[in-house]
Structure 1
Amino acid sequence: MAPGSSSLLRPRDSDALRSELRRAAGHTGVPVVFAGEVHDGALYLSEFLGTRTNGLAGVVVPPRAGLGGRALDESRPITVPDYRSASSITHHFDRPVLGEGLRSILAVPVVVGGAARAVLYGAVRERLPFGDRVLSTFVQAADRLARELAVRDEVDRRMAMLAHTVPDDRDSVAESEVREVYAELRILADDIDDPDLQQRLRGLARRLSGNPDDADR
């Protein structure tokens, strides 16, 4: 999900997206949830729970198009109590949405650094406006995912800096630079929710410190 990211350290962002989607569905009981990641400015729908058809699979949503496109463009949650009659959105995607029987829909963007990186959707097959609790749960899920992505981006940035500044011969590396990167890796490991990424970050910190037990203290 990070533009241009090729870090071998970075787990798949789609797994984190799927996890938050399942969490939101479990906490709210919303029967249909789906989501997608943003690439090159467009939203690609890829994750689905509770759908009955494949109509939404692979749909590409440009900014301002439909409910998700508006959420993407405005970087804020958008809801409609009745999709079919909604005048606040365009109807580019009536066929797959109505084919799925969806009526009330919410779309919440995952915003990192001022830009939407994904959108989470919740939907029901009746005209039933979403309450504050449901919307709040989806917003919290989007915020958690945004923090996770921000940490992953920072890890990628720091590792890229390290790759460019640390030559093969460690003796020639400024000791202060190594200490700084080591400390930041430990802080990032404490801030992130992904256990696998935590373990990898702490392993890198151990390699920098030269003490196999140091990063586990």
Structure 2
Amino acid sequence: MDALAPLARGHADLVELLDRRAALDAALGLLVVDGDVAWMAEPASDGGYLVLRRVRGDRTGLLRGLRVPRGLGLTGKVHGSGGPAWVDDYFRSTDITHTFDGHIEAEAVRRLLAVPVRRHGRPLGVLAVGARTDGAFGDRAVARAGAVADHAALAVAVAERARLAREVAVHEERSRIAAELHDSVGALLFAIGSGVAGLAETADGDPELTDRLERLRRQADEASTALRDSLRTLRASPAALALSVALRADCTAFADRTGVPAELVVLDDVPPDLPRSRHEVLVAAVREALLNVEKHAAASAVVVTAGRRPRGGVVVAVTDDGVGLPPDHVPGLGLTSTADAVGRLGGTVRVVSDPDGGTTWRIDLPC
């Protein structure tokens, strides 16, 4: 049994890392070593302020769910500056706004330390720890808080990837069920409708039978319509996964048509999220690139990569290992139309061919 203990601990650590809530609770538990109360403030959906979603060691409950605009209080200051900050005498400090003095006083907090939580430059929130005793936060406390913030950032990233994988799996299972229903129930309803129509042709001399067969035909049509609506719902992509789901589906369709493997690689913790109009233009551009690979590249493998632009938006590249483009290549109607559509949204389409073979289509689309 002792030999299994390290494995059990490793499994517990992995489960904790995959569970966003458990991981953040563990981070706050580490943080309160240097204080009495700690919280994780995370960006709200519109990004205009932070919300204290996870709090540990509080007495009043006033901090839970508190909204903190950028720049206000120590937490908002750290969110705005992107660097750690602390005050050893909260109420006498002139370095922060005192917007939340009532909350801090109710919690009897005397000094406060806050650090940003970031992953690959992307802000994920702010961790803060408050102490109810006089004193000063030294270098060790600041270093510990920074290390805890790094742990929390990794946990959030891993949890987001796990959530994404689960949602993609759910979507793929729903699509599989939709396909099975289409092939089985849909085919059966079509056969019933056709059979009823055939019987109706032989029942001209029996008005009652004709009427009953007509009702059956209408019911079969209504069932087919209801089935199509259900299949459309099953196949619908979750909004947050629309881009990755669509690109993965296009890669799968390409591979099914050509026999050439096509892989999607999402470079960030979460796939880029675009307005519907831009999403449609981007997906159409990728489809056009894959179509050109299919027609001209003679490739043995294709990779589609999607990632965020540093200033917002998305970059998608379609890369193949085929024969490349000839020196006198002239863009066709498809590429020209695609470039025009992307250009109207402020984006660009570039096609770069390696002299030794292989071509990359790069679609750069801002928000």
Compute the displacement of 1:56 (Å). 1.3
**Could you state the TM-score of these two structures normalised by the residue count of structure 1?**
0.66
CA RMSD across the alignment: 3.0
Counterpart of 2:127 in structure 1 is 120
Looking at structure 2, the residues matched to 21 and 173 of structure 1 have their Cα atoms a distance apart, in angstroms, of 51
Looking at structure 2, the residues matched to 60 and 16 of structure 1 have their Cα atoms a distance apart, in angstroms, of 22
Q: Structure 2 regions of 5+ residues with no counterpart?
A: 1-17, 169-240, 270-367
Q: Does 1:60 align with 2:67?
A: yes
Looking at structure 2, the residues matched to 174 and 59 of structure 1 have their Cα atoms a distance apart, in angstroms, of 54
Counterpart of 1:47 in structure 2 is 54
Indicate how the Cα distance of structure 1 residues 115 and 79 shifts in structure 2: closer, same or farther if over 3 A, else same.
Answer: same
Q: Sequence identity of aligned pairs in percent?
A: 29
The amino acid of 1:127's aligned partner reads D
Q: Does 1:36 align with 2:41?
A: yes
SS of the residue corresponding to residue 97 of structure 2 reads coil
* Residues 126-172 of structure 1 deviation map (CA, whole Å, 9 limit, x = unaligned): 22111212211110111122234445666759x65652233376633
Contact kept, 8 Å, 2:52 with 2:67, in 1: the verdict is yes
For residues 3-152 of structure 1, the aligned pairs below 5 Å read 13-25=20-32, 28-39=33-44, 40-151=47-158
Compute the displacement of 1:174 (Å). 6.2
Looking at structure 2, the residues matched to 34 and 139 of structure 1 have their Cα atoms a distance apart, in angstroms, of 14
Q: Structure 1 regions of 5+ residues with no counterpart?
A: 1-10, 189-217
Bigger helix fraction: 2
Contact kept, 8 Å, 1:55 with 1:97, in 2: the verdict is no
Counterpart of 1:213 in structure 2 is none
Compute the displacement of 1:45 (Å). 0.7
Looking at structure 2, the residues matched to 65 and 125 of structure 1 have their Cα atoms a distance apart, in angstroms, of 21
Looking at structure 2, the residues matched to 45 and 117 of structure 1 have their Cα atoms a distance apart, in angstroms, of 12
Contact kept, 8 Å, 1:166 with 1:173, in 2: the verdict is no
The amino acid of 1:35's aligned partner reads M
SS of the residue corresponding to residue 57 of structure 1 reads coil
Compute the displacement of 1:59 (Å). 1.0
Contact kept, 8 Å, 1:72 with 1:109, in 2: the verdict is yes
Compare CA radii of gyration and give the structure with the larger one: 2
Looking at structure 2, the residues matched to 23 and 174 of structure 1 have their Cα atoms a distance apart, in angstroms, of 52
Counterpart of 1:163 in structure 2 is 245
SS of the residue corresponding to residue 21 of structure 1 reads helix
Which stretches of structure 1, 4 residues or longer, exceed 6 Å deviation after superposition?
none
Looking at structure 1, the residues matched to 258 and 61 of structure 2 have their Cα atoms a distance apart, in angstroms, of 54
For residues 176-215 of structure 1, the aligned pairs below 5 Å read 176-178=261-263
Indicate how the Cα distance of structure 1 residues 55 and 151 shifts in structure 2: closer, same or farther if over 3 A, else same.
Answer: closer
Give the count of matched residue pairs: 170
Looking at structure 2, the residues matched to 57 and 73 of structure 1 have their Cα atoms a distance apart, in angstroms, of 21
Compute the displacement of 1:23 (Å). 2.7
Compute the displacement of 1:22 (Å). 1.6
Looking at structure 1, the residues matched to 58 and 49 of structure 2 have their Cα atoms a distance apart, in angstroms, of 22
Compute the displacement of 1:33 (Å). 1.3
Counterpart of 1:202 in structure 2 is none
* Residues 14-61 of structure 1 deviation map (CA, whole Å, 9 limit, x = unaligned): 443222112333xx3522212221121311012222111112122100
**Could you state the TM-score of these two structures normalised by the residue count of structure 2?**
0.41
Q: Which has the higher contact order (CA 8 A, sep 6+)?
A: 1
